[in-house]
């Protein structure tokens, strides 16, 4: 039955009975709810990773003054040293200068993504201990810090790519579904050809033509990653364009753009939300795969794919491969559980 005028104008209002029923169905899925909570906690921790894993103190008190090295850079002379370059807070001499007339508070993990663990006497990669909870990589960097910084890049990159791909897919699907005819026919033939290309190999070939860049990688992955929602949105617009309220709006002289944006799009977006976690999962996997193959983020960037490469190259250091594998598996599992819960909540059969 077509949606009424009051329903279509309140498609995104949480006090709408339809949305209240969807939220209630989502809450009944305990696995999905807890997965969403854990994912939100991990996301917040990764966004604030400088406060958790850093080689600079959170706070320095020296001679009755307070300093915040993670916000501002201070020369060593600020704390009584002789060098005018930025203070190295891992240097025992700098630590002694600060402790002589104050104190400093280090983060829980006193390593950034590029900080070598110079305290270790074992050859790198070094196994886990009290200082490096997940050990070090093959050049002495803390694995746990690398994972946290790598997760932040993966999540931000994946969310941005998913958002941009969803916007393009919704626009293309809306145009195809609303206008139909030769527009839909041409769009479907193009989709068939474009989706039939070996996307991963095409990205690898195109990436190799440019110098390493996050922006170029993003653009190339978006070039092949925008088709996820086209079919779903197209079907919704094909179905809704013949509803009575859409025909009435058209007869009243409302423009096609206004009809698409105000009358059909809200319902199409509601059915598309459940697919976003699966799209994010696919984008994170694609980025990790490219990093593993050496065609992803610029060299030296913290990433789970780069950590797995180190695990492959250092089979006698199993903590490298296991740390990367379980971190990726845990994040992807949370996203899949969230997606399953959303799909059940937005199931039109309910």
| Domain-located, residue 350 | no
Residue 261 lies in a domain: yes
The predicted-structure confidence for 194-216, as pLDDT tens digits, reads as follows 988 888 889 999 998 888 889 99
Percent of the chain with pLDDT over 90: 63
CATH of the domain at 165: 1.10.3720.10
How many domains, the chain?
2
Lowest-confidence segment of 103-107, 150-154, 199-203 by average pLDDT: 199-203
40 and 101 together in one domain: no
- Domain hosting residue 66, numbered range: 55-106
Check whether residue 208 and residue 295 sit in a common domain. Answer: yes
Q: Are residues 238 and 264 in the same domain?
A: yes
In this structure, are 209 and 231 located in the same domain?
yes
Residues 178 and 250 in one domain: yes
pLDDT for residue 99: 94
> Residue 176 falls within a domain, yes or no?
yes
**306 found inside a domain:** yes
Please check whether residues 156 and 33 belong to one and the same domain.
Answer: yes
- At 253 the pLDDT is 86
Q: Is residue 128 part of a domain?
A: no
Same domain, 190 and 304: yes
Shared-domain flag, residues 102 and 195 = no
pLDDT category at 15 given cuts 50, 70, 90 is: low
Residue 308 lies in a domain: yes
DSSP per residue, 39-95: HHHHHHHHHTGGGTB-SS-SEEEETTEEE-TTTS--BGGGGT-S--SBP-TTSHHHH
pLDDT at res. 341: 93
pLDDT digits (tens, 9 = 90+) for 301-343: 899 999 999 999 998 999 999 999 999 999 999 999 999 999 8
**CA nearest to 128, candidates 317, 295, 280, 264:** 317
Confidence of residue 4 (pLDDT cuts 50, 70, 90): very low
Residue 293 counted as domain residue: yes
247-264 pLDDT, tens digit each: 888 888 888 888 888 888
Tokens 């190339």 belong to: 220
Lowest mean pLDDT among 2-6, 69-73, 75-79, 175-179: 2-6
Q: Residue 26: is the preceding peptide bond cis (ω within 30°)? A: no
Order of all β-strands in the sheet with 59-62: 65-67, 59-62, 102-105
The span from the CA of 188 to the CA of 350, in Å, is 30
208 and 92, same domain (yes or no): no
The whole-angstrom separation of Cα 94 and Cα 304 is: 33
- In which band, very low, low, confident or very high, does the pLDDT at 13 lie, cut at 50, 70 and 90? low
């Amino acid at each position: 039955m077509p949606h009424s005028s009051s329903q279509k104008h309140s498609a995104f209002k949480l006090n709408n009975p339809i949305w209240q029923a969807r939220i209630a169905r989502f809450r009944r899925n305990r696995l999905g709810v807890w997965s969403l909570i854990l994912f939100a906690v991990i996301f917040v921790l990764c966004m604030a990773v400088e406060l958790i894993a850093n080689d600079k103190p959170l706070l320095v008190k020296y001679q009755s003054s307070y300093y915040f090295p993670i916000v501002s850079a201070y020369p060593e002379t600020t704390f009584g040293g002789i060098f005018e370059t930025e203070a190295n807070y891992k240097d025992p001499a700098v630590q002694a200068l600060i402790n002589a007339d104050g104190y400093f508070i280090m983060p829980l993990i006193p390593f950034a993504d590029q900080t070598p663990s110079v305290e270790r006497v074992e050859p790198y990669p070094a196994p886990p201990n009290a200082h490096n909870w997940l050990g070090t990589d093959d050049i002495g960097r803390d694995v746990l810090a690398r994972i946290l910084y790598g997760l932040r890049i993966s999540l931000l990159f994946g969310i941005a790519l998913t958002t941009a791909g969803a916007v393009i897919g919704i626009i293309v699907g809306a145009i195809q579904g609303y206008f139909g005819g030769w527009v839909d026919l041409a769009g479907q033939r193009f989709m068939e050809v474009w989706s039939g290309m070996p996307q991963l190999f095409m990205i690898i070939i195109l990436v190799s033509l440019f110098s390493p860049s996050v922006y170029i990688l993003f653009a190339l992955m978006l070039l092949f990653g925008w088709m996820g929602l086209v079919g779903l949105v197209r079907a919704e617009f094909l179905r809704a364009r013949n509803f009575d309220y859409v025909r009435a709006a058209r007869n009243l002289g409302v423009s096609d753009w206004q009809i698409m944006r105000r009358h059909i799009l809200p319902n199409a977006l509601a059915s598309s939300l459940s697919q976003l976690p699966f799209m994010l999962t696919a984008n994170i996997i694609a980025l990790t795969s490219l990093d593993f193959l050496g065609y992803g983020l610029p060299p030296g960037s913290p990433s789970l794919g780069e950590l797995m490469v180190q695990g492959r190259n250092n089979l006698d250091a199993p903590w490298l491969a296991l740390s990367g594998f379980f971190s990726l598996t845990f994040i992807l599992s949370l996203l899949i559980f969230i997606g399953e819960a959303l799909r059940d909540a937005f199931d039109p059969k309910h």
